[in-house]
């Protein structure tokens, strides 16, 4: 669009085309501002200044609305699909790796487990029809594990832009998993922190509600190191405190979108106090 | 101390508060056409409340950087003329759009205030007022880069947020550095800390030089 540099947003091929107007406002540029209202009237784009501002109002609202809509479609929905695909790849790779760990040693004579073992088997040059199948299966496992890593990288990057504060507090992967479990950033932001605390522990929660178990202390936030490393007996308080701060971060991300570094410090301080309780006893 | 025309102190639930006339935006208390301007949620509101001469006047042309969800810029547009509202994050723009839909002089732009050339083809020149409330690093640079939109006798009204520059540094040092940066392009007319309404914020009013 370099030929448009230095021209007003209204100077384009077809002034009646909404798409073109949006494109010009969104992607156009100029080194310096000019007296655009006067130029627009002189160019016949508007009959007078009032008419110009009316048209500008309509065009800027139209453009902003479209950007917001695209962003919303793009952001957390893509993120949710990616997180779920990442979990699927992980689960499937592990499941097939287990199958491989049972099968492959009967042919190769070498024992092993997991994805690393699949990588070793995948390197083999198969000599029999059975070995061909085993090696091919191992390559599928490796491909799935690689796809999981690529999805993970995508999720990390995307979460940092969708939910900068939640990512900073929870880590990008846990943040993305919470968003996926809640069904989006907005639903997550609207959940009470007690619900956030047990997201991912629905089975245990419903068992508790039916009166068959104690209430779960934590759901997926268990993967957060401040909960995992909290002294036994204080894990519930750590989970509750973390859930409170994560809820707050999700709300800031959803409603303001602005990064607030002070949230990190609040969480660190709160966790330090909980972890210090053990020392006092 | 005189308030800008279009801004008044009016009682809401027995408390004198700043108010402007316009459609409500964020659930603020209203009294007929008047709606309360929450100075705890608005740095520009706090500046006016403290009696700073911000350059906001009836019918003024304004560029507002860091409009967020439109709380403050909606009050500005109630008072001013053409008001360009720049906000980079798409999420708060949803609410900004609601405020702009009711105000024909408010123009929302989803742009990065650090790159004025991406909106100089839309925002006009010779503006009366540049309001800056951006939570990015290098806020002084943003003020300097956007001086191109101001008229010779225009005003910059900026709220410098210490924590956006560096959370770990002493706010006083951050402010001194930011002021020095602003003075490259402006003559500083007035400064005030906005605590306790807005912690670690320095309000700056300046004129291009």
Q: Provide the pLDDT for residue A2.
A: 43
CATH 1.10.287.4070 fits A75-162, yes or no: yes
In a domain, B104, yes or no: yes
Q: Is B93 on the interface with A (CB under 8 A)?
A: yes
Q: Is B135 on the interface with A (CB under 8 A)?
A: yes
pLDDT band at B1 (very low <50, low <70, confident <90, very high): low
> Which tens digit of pLDDT belongs to each residue from B22-65?
999 988 999 999 999 999 999 999 999 999 999 999 999 999 99
| Prediction ipTM score | 0.94
* Chain A CA closest to residue B81: A53
Q: How many domains does chain B have?
A: 1
Q: Provide the pLDDT for residue B4.
A: 93
Q: Provide the pLDDT for residue B17.
A: 95
Query: Cβ contacts (< 8 Å) between A53 and chain B: which residues?
Result: 82, 104-105
Structural domain of B201: 38-208
Query: Cβ contacts (< 8 Å) between A254 and chain B: which residues?
Result: 91
Comparison of pLDDT for A270 and A93, the residue scoring more: A93
Cross-chain Cβ contact A57/B105 below 8 Å: yes
Q: Provide the pLDDT for residue A276.
A: 81
In a domain, B90, yes or no: yes
The rounded mean pLDDT for chain A is 88
Domain extents for chain A?
9-73, 75-162, 163-281
Cross-chain Cβ contact B121/A256 below 8 Å: no
The rounded mean pLDDT for chain B is 94
Query: Cβ contacts (< 8 Å) between A29 and chain B: which residues?
Result: 117-118, 120-121
3-state secondary structure chain B: CCCCCCCEEEEECCEEEEEEECCCCCCCCEECCEEECCCCCCHHHHHHHCCCCCCCCCCCCEEEECCCCCHHHHHHHHHCCCEEEEECCHHHHHHHHHHHHCCCCEEEEECCCCCHHHCCCCCCCCEEEEEECCCCCCHHHHHHHHHHHEEEEEEEEEEEEHHHHCCCCCHHHHHHHHHHHHCCCEEEEEEEECCCCCCCEEEEEEEEC
**Chain B interface, mutation test: which of A24, A36, A60, A268, most B Cβ atoms within 10 Å?**
A60
CATH of the domain at B202: 3.40.50.150
> Which tens digit of pLDDT belongs to each residue from B110-147?
999 999 999 999 999 999 999 999 988 899 999 999 99
Q: Span A269-279, mean pLDDT?
A: 79
Q: Provide the pLDDT for residue A3.
A: 47
Q: Span B68-79, mean pLDDT?
A: 96
In a domain, B26, yes or no: no
In a domain, B159, yes or no: yes
Could you tell me which CATH class the domain A163-281 is placed in? Answer: mainly alpha
In a domain, B116, yes or no: yes
Cross-chain Cβ contact A258/B135 below 8 Å: yes
């Amino acid at each position: 669009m370099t030929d448009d540099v230095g021209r007003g947003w209204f100077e384009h091929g077809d002034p009646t085309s909404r798409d073109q107007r949006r494109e010009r406002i969104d992607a156009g540029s100029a080194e310096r501002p000019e007296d655009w209202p006067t130029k627009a009237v002189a160019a016949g784009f508007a009959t007078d200044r009032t008419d110009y501002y009316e048209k500008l109002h309509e065009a800027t609202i139209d453009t902003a609305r479209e950007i917001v809509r695209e962003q919303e479609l793009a952001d957390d929905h893509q993120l949710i699909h990616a997180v779920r695909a990442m979990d699927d790849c992980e689960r499937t790779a592990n499941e097939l790796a287990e199958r491989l760990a049972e099968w492959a040693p009967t042919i190769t004579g070498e024992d092993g487990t997991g994805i690393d073992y699949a990588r070793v088997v995948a390197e083999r040059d198969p000599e029999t029809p059975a070995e061909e199948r085993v090696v091919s299966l191992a390559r599928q496992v490796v491909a799935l594990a690689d796809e999981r890593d690529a999805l993970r990288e995508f999720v990390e990057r995307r979460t940092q832009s969708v939910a900068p504060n939640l990512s900073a507090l929870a880590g990008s992967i846990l943040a993305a998993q919470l968003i996926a479990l809640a069904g989006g950033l907005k639903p997550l932001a609207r959940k009470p922190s007690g619900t956030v605390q047990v997201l991912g522990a629905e089975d245990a929660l419903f068992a508790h509600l039916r009166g068959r178990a104690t209430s779960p202390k934590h759901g997926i936030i268990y993967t957060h190191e401040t909960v995992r490393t909290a002294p036994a007996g204080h894990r519930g308080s750590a989970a509750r405190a973390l859930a409170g701060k994560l809820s707050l971060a999700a709300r800031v991300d959803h409603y303001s979108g602005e990064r607030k570094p002070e949230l990190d410090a609040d969480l660190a301080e709160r966790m330090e106090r909980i972890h210090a309780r053990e020392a006092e006893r | 101390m005189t308030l800008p025309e279009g801004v008044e102190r009016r009682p809401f639930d027995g408390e004198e508060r700043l108010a402007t006339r316009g459609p409500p935006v964020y659930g603020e208390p209203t009294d007929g056409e008047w709606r309360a301007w929450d100075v705890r949620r608005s740095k520009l509101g706090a500046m006016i409340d403290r009696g700073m001469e911000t350059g906001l006047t009836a019918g003024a042309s304004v560029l507002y950087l860091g409009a967020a969800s439109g709380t403050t810029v909606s009050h500005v547009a109630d008072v001013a003329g053409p008001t360009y509202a720049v906000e980079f994050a798409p999420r708060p723009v949803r609410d900004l759009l609601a405020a702009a839909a009711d105000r024909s002089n408010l123009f929302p732009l989803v742009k990065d205030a650090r790159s004025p050339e991406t909106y100089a083809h839309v925002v006009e020149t010779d503006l009366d007022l540049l309001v800056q409330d951006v939570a990015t690093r290098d806020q002084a640079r943003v003020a300097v880069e956007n001086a191109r939109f101001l008229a010779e006798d225009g005003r910059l009204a900026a709220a410098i947020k210490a924590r956006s520059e560096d959370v770990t540094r002493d706010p006083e040092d951050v402010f001194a550095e930011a002021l020095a940066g602003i003075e490259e392009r402006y003559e500083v007319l007035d400064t005030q800390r906005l605590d306790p309404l807005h912690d670690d914020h320095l309000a700056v009013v300046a004129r291009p030089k």
